[in-house]
């Protein structure tokens, strides 16, 4: 297994470290346009291998020839948010970056799967699909796992319980219009509405929607990377080991949930063939309306791009 990660910033580098520590690939490539940055980070990580006890080989480079025949390519390249910015503020500049790196990645690794992390996520996954010409099942966006993890974290802290007993369900675009579903979220199998009052749930839902902005506001010079990298690696683990886990990801919809020709956060069965199945669940009229509003926001972003 060979995995290439494009973008040696905090998300990309942390993703590589997690991949190596979990030994999900024997050969890992870290690519960035900045001379010395991927090389230095790769060497630093390799020097931690004797301590961590893993044997993956990490190569840092500014060239895409090292990515030749990669099985999976992760795209984290792009500008990060600054305080006061929304993910959508990055749209035009990051679209150009994602288009460029996707062209190079697709040429080097035409049989790879693409996992997009760059924001605004749903639009960038669409750019990667159109640019690469890959089958839709082989292009995914990381979003729902991160959003659900934030929701789970806040629920567990509110109830003072282990996060391992909390499941959370989040649909829709990765942004302010995401659609957390409290009725499908549970604690040890108990539906969330039976454990918390409506106003508390509403507060946790709103904090989930603004979870990324909260971190950007605190860091001031960067955005989240520990949780996003963990989310990417959970997707890769399910693909590499053919676990067929049902994980919320941005997948290309072709009629599911009444939506077509866009990337959107939905439950996806992830296995060795990529997005092997999109799981559809019945929604209440209110949930479907919220989902449609989120889809309209994603489409508005796509309309601003020349695709």
Digit-by-digit pLDDT tens for the chain (307 residues) are 999 999 999 999 999 999 999 999 999 999 999 999 999 999 999 999 999 999 999 999 999 999 999 999 999 998 876 777 666 688 889 999 999 999 999 999 999 999 999 999 999 999 999 999 999 999 999 989 999 999 999 999 999 999 999 999 899 998 888 999 999 999 999 999 999 999 999 999 999 999 999 999 999 888 999 999 999 999 999 999 999 999 999 999 999 999 999 999 999 999 999 999 999 999 999 999 999 999 999 999 999 997 7
Q: Would you name the residues annotated as active-site residues?
A: 174
Residue corresponding to tokens 């020839």: 65
Give the predicted TM-score (pTM) of the model: 0.94
Residue 135 phi, psi dihedral angles, 5° rounding: -65, 140
Are 239 and 263 in contact by the 8 Å Cβ rule? The answer is no
Token output for 99: 């288009």
Are 76 and 12 in contact by the 8 Å Cβ rule? The answer is yes
Instruction: Name the CATH topology of 2-141.
Output: Rossmann fold (3.40.50)
The structural domains of the chain, with segments of one domain joined by +, span 2-141, 144-303
From residue 147, how far is each of 29, 142, 171, 269 by CA, in Å? 27, 10, 9, 17
Token output for 218: 């605190």
Asked if the domains at 2-141 and 144-303 fall in one CATH topology, the answer is: no
Which CATH code is given to the segment(s) 144-303?
Answer: 3.90.110.10
User: Would you list the DSSP string of 23-76?
Assistant: T--SEEEEE-SSTTHHHHHHHHHHHHHHHHT---EEEEES-GGGGTT-SEEEE-
Are 252 and 269 in contact by the 8 Å Cβ rule? The answer is no
93 CB-contact burial (10 Å; exposed 0-12 / middle 13-18 / buried 19+): exposed
CA 273 to chain centre: 18
Listed residue (275, 273, 238, 271) closest to 253, CA to CA? 275
Residues 116, 149, 22, CA angle at the centre, nearest 5°? 65
Element (H, E) at 128: helix 121-132
Residues listed for the chain: 307
Per-residue pLDDT at 143: 84
């Amino acid at each position: 297994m060979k995995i290439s990660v494009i973008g040696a910033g905090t998300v990309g580098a942390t993703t590589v470290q997690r991949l190596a520590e979990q030994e999900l690939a024997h050969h890992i490539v870290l690519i960035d346009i900045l001379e010395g940055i991927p090389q230095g980070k790769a060497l630093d990580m390799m020097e931690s291998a004797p301590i961590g006890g893993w044997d993956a080989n990490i190569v840092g480079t500014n060239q895409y020839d090292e990515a030749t025949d990669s099985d999976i390519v992760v795209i984290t390249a792009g500008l990060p948010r600054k305080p006061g910015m929304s993910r959508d503020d990055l749209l035009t500049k990051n679209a150009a970056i994602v288009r460029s790196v996707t062209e190079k990645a697709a040429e080097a690794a035409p049989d790879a799967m693409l996992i997009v992390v760059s924001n605004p996520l749903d639009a960038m996954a669409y750019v990667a699909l159109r640019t690469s010409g890959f089958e839709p099942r082989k292009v995914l966006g990381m979003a729902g796992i991160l959003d659900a993890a934030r929701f789970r974290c806040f629920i567990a802290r509110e109830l003072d319980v282990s996060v391992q007993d909390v499941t959370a369900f989040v649909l829709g675009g990765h942004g302010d219009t995401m659609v957390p579903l409290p009725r499908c979220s549970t604690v040890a199998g108990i539906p969330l509405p039976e454990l918390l009052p409506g106003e508390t749930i509403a507060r946790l839902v709103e904090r989930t929607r603004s979870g990324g902005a909260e971190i950007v506001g605190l860091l001031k010079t960067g955005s989240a990377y520990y949780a996003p990298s963990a989310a990417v690696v959970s997707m890769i683990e399910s693909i590499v080991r053919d676990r067929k886990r049902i994980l919320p990801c941005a997948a290309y919809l072709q009629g599911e949930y009444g939506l077509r020709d866009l990337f959107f956060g939905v439950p996806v069965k992830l296995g060795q063939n990529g997005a092997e199945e999109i799981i559809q669940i019945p929604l209440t009229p209110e949930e479907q309306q919220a989902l449609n509003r989120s889809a309209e926001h994603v489409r508005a972003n796509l309309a601003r791009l020349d695709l």
